[in-house]
Amino acid sequence: MYKKCLRYEWPMNILDTLTNSREKIRGQRIIIRDDQYEFSELQKILEQAARSKVSINLIDSGRLDQQQLELLSQFPFSFYTSDCTREEFINLTLLAEILAKKKRPVYLFLEKNLNGTQDIFNHLEFFTSIFVSSREKAVDLDWLAALSSAASVSGPSLVYYHHQKLEEKLAEVSQKSVWFHISNRNISEDQEIMLLDLIKEVRKRKGQPVVHLERVQPEHFLELLDRSGAFLIFNLPPVETGSKLYKLEKSWRKKQLPEKAFYLYPDIMA
């Protein structure tokens, strides 16, 4: 399950916080970049985080080499990298294998190679999750469906953030290991049934639909979404206390996605 997140923009705070506020931050997680610190300081941070029972999400800048990552892997952390940071898949999978052997989760965001290349299909078993987003450019759905099938066999989760219009072909992406994120921001009234049908088909294929509610829609439709089997994430303006929508939102805020199902922040459409 995901934990409350503390994000540090300046490196001078974190060691003091881990050392002096251990009980206060126990069980939380901290997101940091590896290029914010000297390597020796990064080692101290990971060591102190382990003592404080704090989870570290380490964002890869490409600076750390194989030997340094092996040294760091004696302490628990989750490693977030991308094909922009490390362009050579051979080196990327080698690092992922090193960390996977130490049971350190490796999360890969595919940003460049989204249409055609199958290099990443090799050695998917070393990754915990593969993230793909159509925010910047449309994704070849045939390629994505092939990646989904490969991931379902190899073991990692495929987390897809869809930012374009709905289309029937989207259901082909879904496998048992797929988390399918979509926002209702651009869902018009005449697409509501299409969204419900898509959720039904994704669930039928053992996928996990996640709907980000970023604008208020008719109450009856939100109730249908609630019963659809999709995981609902509420990003709405404040609603009237005691209303049906308020109660629905309150009940969903008690539920949590596993960390493998989202990129760093559960409520953001990456």
Reported as a single tens digit per residue, the pLDDT across 190-236 is: 899 999 999 999 999 999 999 999 998 988 999 999 999 999 999 99
User: Residue 30 in contact with residue 7, Cβ under 8 Å?
Assistant: yes
Does the global pTM surpass 0.75?
yes
Reported as a single tens digit per residue, the pLDDT across 84-135 is: 999 888 889 999 999 999 999 999 999 887 666 667 787 899 999 999 999 9
141: nearest Cα among 188, 182, 183, 174: 174
Q: What is the mean pLDDT of the chain?
A: 90
Q: What is the DSSP letter of 237?
A: P
**Is the model's pLDDT at 11 over the cut of 70?**
no
When comparing pLDDT for 188 and 170, which is higher?
A: 170
**Is the model's pLDDT at 8 over the cut of 50?**
no
Range 40-66 average pLDDT: 94
The domains found in the chain, sorted by start residue, are 1-127 (3.40.50), 160-270 (3.40.50)
**Amino acid identity, residue 160?**
Y
Q: Which residue has the tokens 């916080």?
A: 17
